[in-house]
C-alpha cells in the first residue's frame, strides 16, 4: 500500500516546553497553537514487503543518523498498532527551512502519522491521529488539527489536540536566520527541567495562561489573546535563559522585531510577537491586519524574509491510498 499526506506547521500561542514523560511525549502542561496555511510538508509512505529495513528520503536525499532513526522509531509504533512487520519507503518534502524553529518537525510528523497509518491500514480518528503524531514530535499533535488547536496535558490516552473556536487570526513569519539550530528543543527542554530554577513557575503560570487564553479566544478579545501570546513566549525564553548553562535562541535581530511589534501596537495595530526554539519571530495579528503588519516590518527589517500565513488545514491524505504497483 502507498499513501500520501500533507500537513502544515503550527506556531504556539501558549507554548509546550517540557515533557512529563519522554518516551510517550507527554507534556508538562497543555498548549495552544495556530496551524498555518504556508510551508506544508508532503510525505509518502509505501510498504515494501521485500525491504529488510525502512528507507527514508528527506528532501530528495537519503536520511541517515538521528533523522532516519526517528522515522523508523515512529514507524515501529505504527507497525505495533497494525500488527505488521513490513518495512516502508518514506519520502518527505518540507517547504519550510528545516530545524530553524519554524515547526517543520510538527508538519513532518503530522504528515507521517496520516500517511503511515493509512498505508498500514489503520483507521484512526482525529484524536487517535493526534496521539500518534505526538509520539514523533510533541508539537505535531497540534498540526493534525486545522486553525486554532489545544493540546491537552494528561496520560497517553487523553493527551491529544482538538480544535478551538476563536477569532480569524494569522501570522507574519519573519525568517531572520534559516540555519538549523545548534541545540534541539528536546535537549533544551530537558536542561530547563533539570537546571532552571524558574521551571516550576513556568508550569504553574502556563496552566493559568492556557485557561485565560481559552476565555480570551471565546470572547474574541484579541488584545488579551495577543498579550498572553507575547508574555508566554518571553517567559519560555526566560526559563531557558535561567538554565545552566544558559540556552538562548533569540538573536539581537529577534529582539529588534519584538521591539518593532511593540511600536506597531503604539501606532494602533493589534500585532503581537512570539518565537519558538530559534531566532525567527512570528507576529500574530487579526487576518485583516496582516498585510499592514508585513508592510511595516518590510520597511524596518529589510533583511528578514516575510511570509504571511492565515489559519490553515489539518493534516490529511492527498490523492487516493492505493496498492503499490
Ligand atoms: O515538538 P518539539 O519537540 O519540536 O517542541 C516544540 C517546542 C516549541 O516549538 C518551542 C513550542 C511549541 O509549543 O511548539
Average pLDDT over residues 242-258: 97
Sorted by where each begins, the domain ranges of the chain are 2-165, 169-310
Q: Is pLDDT above 80 for 257?
A: yes
Candidate from 18, 21, 26, 139 with most ligand 1 atoms within 8 A of CB, to mutate? 139
Asked if 51 and 87 count as a contact pair (C-beta separation under 8 A), the reply is yes
For 184, phi then psi, to 5°, come to: -70, 155
Q: Poorest-confidence range of 103-117, 144-158, 177-191?
A: 177-191
Position 321 scores a pLDDT of 73
Position 96 scores a pLDDT of 76
Distance between CA 20 and CA 16 in Å, rounded?
11
What cell numbers appear for 209 in the block?
495562561
Q: Which helix or strand (DSSP H or E) is residue 148 part of?
A: strand 148-151
Average pLDDT over residues 208-216: 98
Q: Does domain 2-165 correspond to CATH entry 3.90.1150.10?
A: no
Cβ of 166 below 6 Å from ligand 1: no
Residue-averaged pLDDT of the chain: 95
Q: pLDDT per residue over 64-74, tens digit each?
A: 999 999 999 99
Kindly report the length of the chain.
325
Asked if 16 and 149 count as a contact pair (C-beta separation under 8 A), the reply is no
pLDDT-derived band at 98 (thresholds 50, 70, 90) equals low
Position 154 scores a pLDDT of 97
Distance between CA 15 and CA 50 in Å, rounded?
43
pLDDT-derived band at 322 (thresholds 50, 70, 90) equals confident
**Ligand 1 atom with minimal separation from the 277 CA:** 10
**Ligand 1 atom with minimal separation from the 106 CA:** 1
- Residue 25 CA to ligand 1 center (angstroms) comes to 11
**Ligand 1 atom with minimal separation from the 140 CA:** 1
Ligand 1 atom 6: the closest Cα is on which residue?
139
- Residue 92 CA to ligand 1 center (angstroms) comes to 20
Q: For the chain, where are the alpha helices, taking DSSP H only?
A: 65-82, 104-119, 126-136, 140-143, 185-195, 199-219, 222-241, 252-266, 290-300
Average pLDDT over residues 209-229: 98
Position 181 scores a pLDDT of 75
CB-based burial label for 22 (10 Å; 0-12, 13-18, 19+) = exposed
Cβ of 209 below 6 Å from ligand 1: no
- Residue 52 CA to ligand 1 center (angstroms) comes to 33
**Ligand 1 atom with minimal separation from the 15 CA:** 13
Q: Is pLDDT above 90 for 135?
A: yes
CB count within 10 Å of CB 211 equals 12
Q: pLDDT per residue over 282-315, tens digit each?
A: 999 999 999 999 999 999 999 999 999 999 999 9
Position 116 scores a pLDDT of 98
- Residue 261 CA to ligand 1 center (angstroms) comes to 22
Q: Does domain 169-310 correspond to CATH entry 1.10.600.10?
A: no
- Residue 325 CA to ligand 1 center (angstroms) comes to 38
Amino acid at each position: 500500500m502507498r499513501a500520501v499526506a500533507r500537513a502544515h506547521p503550527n506556531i504556539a500561542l501558549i507554548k509546550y516546553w517540557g515533557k512529563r514523560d519522554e518516551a510517550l511525549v507527554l507534556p508538562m502542561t497543555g498548549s495552544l497553537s495556530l496551524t498555518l496555511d504556508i510551508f506544508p510538508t508532503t510525505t509518502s509512505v509505501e510498504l515494501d514487503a521485500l525491504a529488510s529495513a525502512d528507507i527514508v528520503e528527506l528532501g530528495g536525499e537519503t536520511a541517515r543518523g538521528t533523522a532516519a532513526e526517528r522515522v523508523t522509531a515512529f514507524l515501529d509504533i505504527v507497525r505495533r498498532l497494525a500488527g505488521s512487520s513490513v518495512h516502508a519507503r518514506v519520502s518527505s518534502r518540507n517547504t519550510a527551512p528545516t530545524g530553524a524553529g519554524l515547526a517543520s518537525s510538527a508538519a513532518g510528523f503530522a504528515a507521517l502519522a496520516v500517511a503511515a497509518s493509512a498505508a498500514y491500514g489503520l483507521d484512526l480518528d482525529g484524536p487517535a491521529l493526534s496521539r500518534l503524531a505526538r509520539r514523533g514530535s510533541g508539537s505535531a499533535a497540534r498540526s493534525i488539527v486545522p486553525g486554532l488547536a489545544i493540546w491537552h496535558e494528561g496520560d497517553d490516552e487523553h493527551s491529544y489536540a482538538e480544535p478551538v473556536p476563536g477569532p480569524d487570526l494569522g501570522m507574519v513569519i519573519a525568517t531572520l536566520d534559516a540555519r538549523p539550530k545548534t541545540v534541539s528543543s528536546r535537549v533544551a527542554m530537558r536542561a530547563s527541567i533539570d537546571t532552571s530554577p524558574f521551571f516550576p513557575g513556568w508550569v504553574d503560570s502556563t496552566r493559568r495562561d492556557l485557561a485565560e487564553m481559552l476565555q480570551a479566544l471565546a470572547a474574541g478579545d484579541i488584545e488579551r489573546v495577543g498579550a498572553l501570546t507575547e508574555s508566554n513566549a518571553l517567559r519560555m525564553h526566560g526559563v531557558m535563559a535561567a538554565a545552566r548553562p544558559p540556552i538562548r535562541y533569540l538573536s539581537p535581530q529577534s529582539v529588534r522585531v519584538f521591539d518593532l511589534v511593540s511600536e506597531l501596537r503604539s501606532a494602533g495595530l493589534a500585532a503581537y510577537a512570539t518565537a519558538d526554539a530559534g531566532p525567527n519571530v512570528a507576529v500574530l495579528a487579526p487576518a485583516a491586519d496582516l498585510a499592514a503588519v508585513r508592510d511595516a516590518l518590510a520597511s524596518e527589517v529589510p533583511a528578514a524574509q516575510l511570509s504571511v500565513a492565515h489559519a490553515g488545514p489539518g493534516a490529511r491524505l492527498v490523492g487516493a491510498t492505493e496498492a503499490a504497483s
